[in-house]
Amino acid sequence: MTPPTRQTTALLGALSGEGAVWSADFLPGARAWAGIHGGAVVGTMLQAAELATGATAVAVTAHLHAPVRPGTTRLDIAIQRAGRAVISAQTTLHQEDRRATAQVLLSPDAAGAEDLRTWPRTLPPAAELRQDPVVIPRLDLPTDVMPFAKHVDIRPLGDHLPLAGGSLPELRAWIRLTEPHPYSPALAALLLDALFPSLYAVQTEPVPIPTAEITAHFAPTEAAPDWFYIQQRTVWATPGLCLDDAELWTAEGRLLAQARQLRRILRQPAGPAASLHEQPVLHRLRPGLSDPVGRGADEQVLHGSRYRPA
C-alpha cells in the first residue's frame, strides 16, 4: 500500500498537527442526525494515528461516547508500543470533553500486500456483482437531518430493503462517495458504517440506533476509487442493543475490510404504523421502497426534523 497521507473529503475531518497532538475540523455536511457521522469520526481518528506514526492502519476499535459537533476537535495520539511488525496507538478525540476513543493497530511495512490471499466465509452473489450500479435506483435519504447522505451514493440490492418489513435483518448495496476518493482504511471505516442499521430490513418504522462501539479490520491492499459492494447483517438483538456485521468488497469481488459494531436501540416504535406521524423519522426512503402508512409514491416527508436522542 502507499504510505498514509492527509486525505480530506467533505466527510473526513481536515487534519493538522504533528507528533502526539492533532486537530480535526469537521464540516457541517458530515453530520448525521445528532452529530458527525460515526464512520467519519472513526476514519478521521485512525487517519490521525497513521499520520502520527507513518504506518498504515490494519485494525481499529472505537468507542463513541457522545456526538461530535461540526467544528474543531483535538486529537491526542498515544503510542503504546512500536514494534517492527505492528504499532499500537490510541487516539482520543476531545471537544470540550472526551467524545470518542480509538485503539488503532498499524503496520509500518505493508510489503507483500500485492500477494494478499483471502478465504471469506461467504461470497457476494455473482449475479449482484454483475449488475451495473448506475442502472439501480439510488437510495434517497433525508438530507436535511442527514447532510452526510449528500456525499454517499447507495444503490440497494436484493429483497431485503430498509423499512420493508422483511424477515431477515440484512442489507446489501453498491456504495461509493459522490466525489471519487482514493481508497484507504479511513475510507473503508466510513463506508462500513454508511448503511442503515440492518434491523431496518425487518422494520417498517425507523428508530434511532446509533453506534456505541465498532471494530474493523482492513486488508493491506489497494482498490480503485469507484463502486464498492457492501453487505451487512444483524447477528443478534435485544430491546436495547444489537450487533451488526459488515463486509466491504471491490467491484470484482475481492474482500477489503470487515467490521462488527455494537449499536444502542434508543427507542422502540410506540404503536402501529399510523403512529409514525409522531416519530421524528423519515417514513419513505425512496418511491417504491416502502410505504408503511399508505401515502402516494411521489410523497416524501420527514416528520419531527428536530431529532434528539431519547
Distance CA 99, CA 68 (A): 6
Considering the domain architecture, whether residues 270 and 166 belong to the same structural domain is answered as yes
Distance CA 76, CA 99 (A): 12
Considering the domain architecture, whether residues 101 and 23 belong to the same structural domain is answered as yes
Considering the domain architecture, whether residues 75 and 179 belong to the same structural domain is answered as no
Supply the pTM of this predicted model.
Answer: 0.83
Q: What pLDDT does 261 receive?
A: 97
Name, in order, each residue with C-beta under 8 angstroms of 76's C-beta and a sequence gap of 6 or more.
20, 21, 22, 91, 92, 94
* Grid cell locating 274: 399510523
Contact 83, 89 (CB under 8 A): no
Distance CA 162, CA 205 (A): 9
* Angle between the N-to-C axes of helices 185-192 and 38-53, in degrees from 0 to 180, rounded to the nearest 10: 160
Number of domains into which the chain is organized: 2
Specify the DSSP class assigned to residue 121: S
Give the pLDDT of the chain (310 residues) as one tens digit per residue.
Answer: 555 665 557 899 999 999 999 999 999 999 987 899 999 999 999 999 999 999 999 999 999 999 999 999 999 999 999 998 899 999 999 999 999 999 999 998 864 466 777 777 777 888 888 889 999 999 888 888 789 999 999 999 988 888 889 999 999 999 999 988 889 999 999 999 999 999 999 998 888 899 999 999 999 888 888 899 999 999 999 999 999 999 999 998 889 999 999 999 987 544 433 333 333 444 444 333 433 333 232 222 222 222 222 3
Considering the domain architecture, whether residues 169 and 253 belong to the same structural domain is answered as yes
Q: Which domain holds residue 76?
A: 14-109
Whether 57 is covered by a domain: the verdict is yes
Considering the domain architecture, whether residues 25 and 130 belong to the same structural domain is answered as no
Whether 199 is covered by a domain: the verdict is yes
Specify the DSSP class assigned to residue 282: B
